[in-house]
Amino acid sequence: MSRYLFFIGLFFGVWVNIKAQTPTIHVYGGAINTPLYGAHVIITSPDGKKSYAITNIKGETPNPIATGYAVVSIAHLGYENFQDTIFAGENKEYILKESLISLDGFVVTSHAVPTRIEESILKIRVITQQQIQSQGAVNLRDLLSQQLNIRVTQDAALGSGIRMQGIGGENVKIMIDGVPVIGRLDGNIDLSQILLNNIERVEIIEGSSSVIYGSNALAGVINLITKKNANHLVEGTLNGYYETVGQYNIDGQMGFQFGKNNLQISGGRNFFDGFSTTDTVKRYLQWKPKEQYFTELQYNRGIGKMNIRYASNFLHEMLESKGILEAPFFITATDQYFRTIRTQQSLFLTGFIKNNHHLDITVSYSYYNRRRQSFKKDLVTLEKNLFDENVDVFQTWMSRGIYNYRKDSSRIAVQAGYESTTETAEGLRIVNQFQWMTDISFFTSVDFMLLKKLVIKPSIRYGYNSRFTMPVIPSIHIKYTPIKGLDIRASYSRGFRAPSLKELFFEFVDANHNVHGNPLLHAEHSNHVGLTIGYEGSKNKVDFGFSAHGFYNLINDQIRNVEISISSDSNVYRNENISRFQSVGVQFQAQTGYKNFNTGIGFSYTGIVNGIYDDAMGNNTFSSYPEIQGNASYNFKKWGGLFTVFVKYSGKQPVLYTEYDIDLQKDVIKEGAIEGFTLLDISYIQSFLKKRLQIGLYGKNLLNVTNIQQTAGISTSGAHSAGSSSLPTQWGATFAISVKYNFIIHK
């Protein structure tokens, strides 16, 4: 027995010794030397052969060099790239410096495998965590308000919406880690409900992305990437935020790393007092008081070269809309309360099943519940009587799988995948109180790398929809790099959007509303063409980059809510297919970085046209609007401060709306306009205690934009009334302060 124990002990000792001597590359980042999980390490041997690796949660990866030497290149989003010579059997430690200008970085939207931005065949815009913090952005509405060629709209009850490349929010797919966010109101996801407390970066693809992401992606995709790993035994963050408009936020996060396991828990509360442009205190506020509670949990575990992750998030929001005093005695009012519950449960499996073979599988369940309650309140006795209530419930089950094969020595890379989605809608305002729709699709693409300078990527998607015939959806993307730093990207893509269950089956008829869905709607079909020329370089210690982008979108059978009849009692609105919608535009952007100073500037000009039939008034006439955006920042490295300025001018925007003509007995298209305005924000962020404590000071909307004039109705969905109105856009000039404290317990 002792002999066996001796040999077992000897074997174990040799194994431990071998493990201890395995050469390792360690990658750290920042002033406090945080291990960097997910850093991309490329080893290039003298004969040009390359091997790839990604650091684990300890910031480690083996040194694969058996003999001689090689060049190691290390990159991580938010840090400067690093290159060094490494020898066989050598242990190395590298500390990456934080990057102030992000001309490089990695993206995952449309790529299952993280891909360097400049190597991506698609044009992808990345908003980094530094920009999120510099803007003091609490939610996606705050963040996108300073983005070029993106318009944010506001509705008192429905929240914030979006237009991208001139196309409405019903065709912009918003996702968190690739999982679609559900709960559209009037076609839009309320951007103020998409919180940024645990977001690492935001990736935006402009133009149809239906081949990979299916329906609702005719205008593009916005994908929020969460922070996924704790890098220490215990680490945490506590955040506080106050804005003078009456916004009080607090949230926190705890992370635990033990062995191959990683756990993160976060949560918080956001509260907004409400705001009105008038100085006197009134019950009715243009910006409604709102309270949000939110939590998130993420668990990660490494299994060989694979990683399994479970993510759960929950949001509860209560929006309060107090009515004006009612005649004749002005002692009663109608108050409404809107409660939203949104939750998402997701399971992810991703990694290399073997060398060059990458797999990414997502399974998720999403739940959205919106309850509206209407009360008649007696302001003398303070009694409330409930007289109307409605609950809408939407659920989605989704699964997506993507397989990638890419070998460095090969000129062909293959991607294939599937997506399955089942949606349900329940509520008294849904026909028969319950409806459902299923979509199952398969897609594939091939990258042909020609002459090391030209990449051609044809793609195709086809599948089954339980209510509509899904066409074959093709796309082709081309990337040409004639010289180092210069990239030319061209793309053509088809798009398909099945009408939503609300557009098909929504019925809302009461004393104030007469709105109908339409089960006879056709699906939307689109064509998108894009061309981008970009250059990035460095000279005399100055980093610079610029890009020029042009696009054209054509959407046939676009769905809009139009007025179909008028009477003395009420106007009747119904979802209808208009003949077509078009948008065309150009966009220019440039950025520079020299030592501690960085600047960026951009300009876009977009034209839109749509019509109901060929002889409608205003049809086939493009109406255009400009946008100008700029930013500048200076990093005071000696004392850890960062000063940033953001400015965006949104030009006079045309509004094409339908109005029923009694004489012609049909809808006609008329053109209104939203006046232009300029947003100016500044911020200063100061770091203390080796960046563990950060205090941010913000001046927001310093030009004091509040309501702007609109010569049309205020709805963005197509149901407009004539005349002039005041459109709530911003809540005036405010000042804010944020406090963030990070703590770490090392092993």
Predicted local confidence at residue 11, as pLDDT: 44
Residue 411's pLDDT band, with cuts at 50, 70 and 90, is: confident
Identify the residue whose tokens are 């205020």.
714
**CB-based contacts of 607, cutoff 8 Å, min separation 6:** 166, 583, 584, 585, 622, 623, 624, 625
Alpha helix positions (H), 471-556: 501-505
Residue 194 contacts residue 174 (beta carbons within 8 Å): yes
Q: What is the pLDDT of residue 33?
A: 56
| Alpha carbon distance 634, 129 (integer Å) | 17
Please give the pLDDT value at position 280.
60
Quote the pLDDT of residue 648: 97
- Mean pLDDT over 130-143 rounds to 94
CB 583 within 8 A of CB 552: yes
Mean pLDDT over 742-747 rounds to 81
- % the chain with pLDDT above 70: 85
| Residue 217: pLDDT over 70 | yes
Residue whose tokens read 């006046």: 675
Kindly tell me if the per-residue pLDDT of 64 is higher than 60.
yes
**The pLDDT of residue 344:** 97
Cα–Cα dist 355/51, whole Å: 10
Is residue 295 pLDDT above 80, yes or no? yes
Cα angle at 280 between 276 and 283, to 5 degrees?
A: 60
286/456: higher pLDDT: 456
What pLDDT sits at residue 31? 46
| DSSP assigned state of 432 | G
What string of DSSP letters covers 602-641?
A: EEEEEEEEEESSTTSTTTT--EEEEEEEEEEEEEETTTTE
Residue type, 277: T
Q: Do 253 and 265 form a contact (C-beta atoms < 8 A)?
A: yes
* For residue 51, pLDDT beyond 70: yes
Give the residues across from 250 on adjacent strands.
Answer: 240, 269
Q: Give the whole-angstrom CA distance, residue 149 versus residue 650.
A: 9
Q: What are phi and psi of 426, to 5 degrees?
A: -130, 145
Separation CA 348–CA 366 (nearest Å): 15
Name the residue type at position 378.
Answer: D
Lowest mean pLDDT among 58-67, 114-123, 560-569, 575-584: 560-569
pLDDT recorded at residue 114: 67
Q: In which band, very low, low, confident or very high, does the pLDDT at 17 lie, cut at 50, 70 and 90?
A: very low
Cβ-contact 500, 515 below 8 angstroms: no
> What's the rounded Cα separation, in Å, for the pair 116 and 101?
15
pLDDT at 658: 64
Count the alpha carbons within 13 Å of 3 in the hemisphere toward its beta carbon.
0
Q: Which of 57, 315, 104, 110 is nearest to 195 (CA)?
A: 315
State the pLDDT confidence band at 514, using cuts at 50, 70 and 90: confident
In the chain, % of residues over pLDDT 90? 51
Instruction: List the single range of 31-35, 223-227, 713-717 with lowest mean pLDDT.
Output: 713-717
pLDDT for 457 equals: 94
Average of per-residue pLDDT across 148-152:
91
Q: Per-residue confidence at 35, pLDDT binned at 50, 70, 90?
A: confident
Report, as an integer, the average pLDDT of 724-738. Answer: 86
Structural domains in the chain plus CATH codes: 19-96 (2.60.40.10), 223-745 (2.40.170.20)
- Evaluate if residue 59 carries a pLDDT over 80: no
Separation between Cα atoms, residue 224 and residue 101, nearest integer Å: 20
Q: Is 41 helix (H, G, I), strand (E, B) or coil?
A: strand
CA gap 138, 292 in Å, rounded: 12
- What is residue 515's predicted lDDT score, i.e. its pLDDT? 80
Two tokens, residue 267 = 């949560």
Give the pLDDT confidence of 669-728 residue by residue, as tens digits. 667 788 899 999 999 999 998 889 999 999 999 999 998 887 764 443 333 344 556 778
Distance CA 290, CA 273 (A): 7
* Residue 387 or residue 63, greater confidence: 387
Mention every residue, 6+ apart, whose C-beta is less than 8 A from residue 327.
Answer: none
pLDDT of residue 620: 61
Q: Residues 494-513: what's their mean pLDDT?
A: 84
Q: Where are the alpha helices (DSSP H) in 518-619?
A: none
Q: What pLDDT does residue 572 have?
A: 76
Per-residue pLDDT for 665 more than 80?
A: no
Instruction: Note the pLDDT of residue 202.
Output: 93
Q: Does residue 226 register a pLDDT over 80? A: yes
Give which of 557, 558, 562 is closest to 575, Cα–Cα: 562
**Which residue type occupies 629?**
Q
Q: What is the pLDDT of residue 9?
A: 53
For 244-288, what is each residue's pLDDT tens digit?
Answer: 999 999 999 999 988 888 999 999 999 999 988 876 657 888 899
Q: Determine which of 196-205, 271-280, 383-392, 478-487 has the lowest per-residue pLDDT on average.
A: 271-280
460 contacts 476 by C-beta, under 8 angstroms: no
Q: Each residue of 434-454: pLDDT tens digit?
A: 999 999 999 999 999 887 789
- Looking at per-residue pLDDT, the higher value among 136 and 187 belongs to 136
Q: What integer pLDDT is reported at residue 516 of this predicted model? A: 84
The DSSP-derived string for 162-199 is EEETTEEGGGEEEEETTEEP---BTTB--GGGSB-TTE
State residue 403's pLDDT score.
94
Nearest to 668 by CA among 610, 602, 732, 608: 610
* Peptide bond connecting 626 to the previous residue in cis, omega within 30 degrees of 0: no
The predicted structure's pLDDT at residue 438: 97
Cα end-to-end distance, the chain, whole Å: 38
| Mean pLDDT within 151-155 | 85
CB 705 within 8 A of CB 678: yes
Q: Is the pLDDT of residue 6 over 60?
A: no
Conformational region of residue 661, where left means phi above 0, alpha means psi within -120 to 50, and beta covers everything else: beta
**pLDDT tens, residue by residue, 649-660:** 999 887 766 666
Q: Which of 148-152, 337-341, 630-634, 664-668 has the lowest mean pLDDT?
A: 664-668
62-70: list long-range contacts, CB under 8 Å, 24+ apart: 62/22, 62/23, 62/24, 62/25, 63/23, 63/24, 63/25, 63/88, 63/89, 63/90, 63/91, 63/92, 65/23, 65/89, 65/90, 70/43, 70/44, 70/45, 70/46
Mean pLDDT computed over 411-420: 93
Q: How far is CA 159 from CA 16, 140, 287, 420, 689, in A?
A: 59, 12, 9, 29, 39
For residue 401 the two structure tokens come to: 């799988």
Report the chain's mean pLDDT, rounded to a whole number. Answer: 85
Q: What pLDDT, on the 0 to 100 scale, is given for residue 490?
A: 96
Q: Is the pLDDT score of 14 beyond 60?
A: no
Strand ranges (DSSP E) for 50-123? 50-54, 60-62, 69-75, 82-87, 92-96, 106-107, 115-116
- Confidence at residue 627, expressed as pLDDT on a 0 to 100 scale: 96
Give the whole-angstrom CA distance, residue 182 versus residue 364: 12
Q: Which two tokens stand for residue 202?
A: 């935001």
- Name the helix (H) or strand (E) containing 642: strand 641-650
Is residue 666's pLDDT more than 80? no
717 and 5 Cβ atoms separated by less than 8 Å:
no
What lies within 8 Å, CB to CB, of 215 at 6+ separation is: 173, 439, 496, 497, 498
The residue written with tokens 């009692």 in the block is: 569
Q: What does the DSSP 8-state code read for residue 430?
A: B
